[in-house]
Homo-oligomer: A and B are copies of this chain.
């Protein structure tokens, strides 16, 4: 089976593989691109990670992740902004180290309500403010900040940005080359407005990255781990993928799955199965060159 050339493995899908193993099994399975997470990069150090990435021959698609800046002004907020600046530099370095076609994208998860707060509106304003602070750094580094709306079940503890429309409203204050959105099927499929918002994201030049995985019920006890291989759930990849493609998006497409059973599986097997699932559920909805 030929692996789709636009498939990228997000490292979270094989969470227990260290960077060396993640790069190795991704390449070994015939996948051409990978999205990395900060922690396994930090384990080996950025310079070593960049060198390992170059050696792998893989394209680099996204760096996961920045954000978590809903707190009010104070030391914790300053620490978060500073840490996001480091993440921006990492994304730039890794994109430069990846194979041609790599993209310098930092995925941003907004963060939830600060402890003891009920003020979603205020938290959302602080997300916009934080992005405003980071834009000059991102622009200077050539990095696109990709605001990721998360499913509304995560609104209070993980991401106060819940819809693609909301992400685009925040992004609208900034240049499209610097601030875009992450379109992840798991997070947006339920939205009755998703197709018009994908079209809008395309018109506004904001689709930084497209990610696919599936939704199935019952949800597991830890709802963070409720993501599945494409095709194993109820998401209609046809309409969503065709809507993304119709905007002219031609970038890599990541599969990012948080799932304990998948994490407990041998990583090469997971990457191979991901490639197969992508082939049967997503590839046919992509424009052919």
**A interface residues, Cβ below 8 angstroms from B:** 113, 117-121, 124, 151-153, 155-157, 162-163, 165-166, 169, 189-193, 215-219, 221-223, 233-236, 239
Please report the C-alpha to C-alpha distance between residue A217 and residue B215 in the assembled complex, in whole angstroms.
Answer: 20
* A120 surroundings in chain B (CB, below 8 A): 189-190, 192, 236
Please report the C-alpha to C-alpha distance between residue A239 and residue B217 in the assembled complex, in whole angstroms.
Answer: 32
Whether the pair A223, B219 counts as a contact (CB closer than 8 A) is: yes
* A233 surroundings in chain B (CB, below 8 A): 156
11 additional contacts, CB 8 Å, given A153-B219, A156-B233, A169-B192? A118-B236, A121-B239, A151-B152, A151-B153, A152-B153, A153-B223, A156-B217, A162-B191, A166-B192, A218-B222, A221-B221
Interchain nearest-CB distance for A120 vs B (Å): 7
Whether the pair A234, B124 counts as a contact (CB closer than 8 A) is: no
Please report the C-alpha to C-alpha distance between residue A166 and residue B163 in the assembled complex, in whole angstroms.
Answer: 14
A155 touching B223 in the complex, CB below 8 Å, given contacts A117-B234, A118-B236, A236-B118: no
Which B residue sits closest to A222, measured CB to CB? B218
Please report the C-alpha to C-alpha distance between residue A222 and residue B221 in the assembled complex, in whole angstroms.
Answer: 7
Please report the C-alpha to C-alpha distance between residue A117 and residue B165 in the assembled complex, in whole angstroms.
Answer: 26
Whether the pair B234, A113 counts as a contact (CB closer than 8 A) is: yes
* A156 surroundings in chain B (CB, below 8 A): 190, 215-217, 233-234
Whether the pair B152, A191 counts as a contact (CB closer than 8 A) is: yes
Which B residue sits closest to A220, measured CB to CB? B221
29 CB contacts below 8 A, A to B, read A113-B234, A117-B234, A118-B235, A120-B190, A120-B192, A120-B236, A121-B239, A124-B192, A152-B152, A152-B153, A152-B190, A152-B191, A153-B153, A153-B223, A156-B190, A156-B217, A156-B233, A156-B234, A157-B218, A162-B190, A162-B191, A162-B192, A163-B191, A163-B192, A165-B192, A165-B193, A166-B192, A169-B192, A223-B223
